[in-house]
Amino acid sequence: MNDILYIDLNSCFATIEQQARPMLRGRPVAICNRITPNACIIAASYEAKACGVKVGMRRMEAKTLCPDLIFAETEPDKYIFVHEKLKRIMQDYSANVVMKSIDEGVIDLAEAPPHIRERNRYEIGREIKQRLLTEVGDWMRCNVGIASNRFLAKLAGELHKPDGLDEITPENQRDIFATLKLTDLPGINVRMERRLNAVSIFTPLEFLDADEEILVKLVCKSIDGSKWYKRLRGIEVDAVDYGIKSVGRQYVLESKLLSREEIEARILHLAEDVGYRLRSKDLYARGVYVWTYGYDDIYSHRSTILKTPINTDADICRTTMQLYDELPAPVRIIGVTLYKLQDHPEAQLCFYQDKIDRAQNICTAIDKINLRFGARTVHSARSMGTDHVKTKIPFGSTRYLDHSIT
């Protein structure tokens, strides 16, 4: 019996807005982080998608396609609440639940209690859908995909959107693959499609029938070819936790007219935010990476690898500003990322250890105050007036949903 269930909320943010505001139901809705004339759409309701509105489209373009389109700004609290509800529902079926992002997760029933393992998978899928309706709201829909590994379960979940419930088995896999394009497979983008085409693989069935050696030596030119060979056959190769490699944030500046000092305040806000996230996971960073994206579409970046790991706001902000000072202006998007993470401070005691301890204690005290009284109750004076630099929705990792400081 297949043990993997892939649960995916349909048009997550737009559906949640329609759930929260009944007057939006049945109407085309687009969600943006901030409603500005050139805002980028990060989610669209099915009604909007039917008009041709797509994620990533600019507001003006979408409005031309769909004049009745309604725009709403993201509200992270709502989405985190629904995410937590969905996670709790999923955890009622197995302890082995992994949330892949804010709107999708995997239930592995392999080690679930016997009374759940023995149940029909379709029955469990239908029950999860029903519980979403009764425990979150009657507008909520999700796709459920069932298969023997994460890849095929995700594919099954994408077969009939919205509100689908499908299973891929060895018996029906070839029939399903015959109806799909290569780019319908999760993880196959246009570039990968070109590489497959180069060795005369043009359909998912041809991909399935390809020799492992061809995939390893000619397509992927790495062990990834072997992973694809196994993935396509329902063997699990994706149950891997890669850990936290980096912590970062970016921000699209709200105006072209911001002064250097105003941009610096926003950079410092980002640095304080990533510092808080780093400390919330008891981590230290040696790498600091600062990048900007200019109005001329030029990407600029500076990075440094420090001799000693840091995690205090003072150290992170100082290093960030040193790097930012080397970057050209004017900028449209700014970003700060910490990398080369480790879970321990410097092993060797420093000659000025008392100063380091003092800075660490101040930082810990500020974190405690902010946890008790709310985000940014205490912060550096230079990042004042930037409370609107709110945290965006983490599309990838869900690691910081319980520590978000907006």
Partner 1 sequence: MDQSSENLHQPIDVDATFSRKFLGHCRPLAFRTESGREVQIAQIGLVHPKYDGLKTTFAFDVTDGATDYRLALDTESLNWYLEFEGDHYE
Residues that bind partner 1 (CB under 8 A): 16, 19-24, 27, 69-72, 77-78, 81-82, 135-137, 139, 370-375, 377
* CA neighbor of 28 nearest in space, from 70, 57, 59, 64: 70
3-class state of residue 311 by DSSP: coil
Closer Cβ to partner 1, 82 or 253, answer by number: 82
Closer Cβ to partner 1, 23 or 257, answer by number: 23
Shortest Å, Cβ 135 to partner 1: 7
Is residue 162 reached through a cis peptide bond, with omega within 30 degrees of 0 on the bond before it? yes
Q: Is 25 exposed, middle or buried (0-12, 13-18, 19+ CB in 10 A)?
A: middle
Shortest Å, Cβ 292 to partner 1: 31
Closer Cβ to partner 1, 4 or 82, answer by number: 82
Closer Cβ to partner 1, 24 or 338, answer by number: 24
Closer Cβ to partner 1, 22 or 170, answer by number: 22
With tokens 């809705």, the residue in question is 29
Shortest Å, Cβ 49 to partner 1: 18
Angle between helices 313-324 and 260-280 (to 10 degrees): 140
Q: Please give the Cα distance from 59 to 228 (Å, whole number).
A: 38
Shortest Å, Cβ 1 to partner 1: 33
With tokens 């309604």, the residue in question is 70
3-class state of residue 98 by DSSP: strand
**Cβ–Cβ contacts within 10 Å for residue 144, how many?**
26
CA 24 to chain CA centroid, Å, is 25
Can you give the length of the chain in residues?
406
Shortest Å, Cβ 255 to partner 1: 20
Q: Is 101 exposed, middle or buried (0-12, 13-18, 19+ CB in 10 A)?
A: middle
Closer Cβ to partner 1, 123 or 402, answer by number: 402
Closer Cβ to partner 1, 28 or 309, answer by number: 28
Helices vs strands, H then E, count in the chain: 15, 12
With tokens 């980028």, the residue in question is 40
Shortest Å, Cβ 137 to partner 1: 6
Shortest Å, Cβ 166 to partner 1: 28
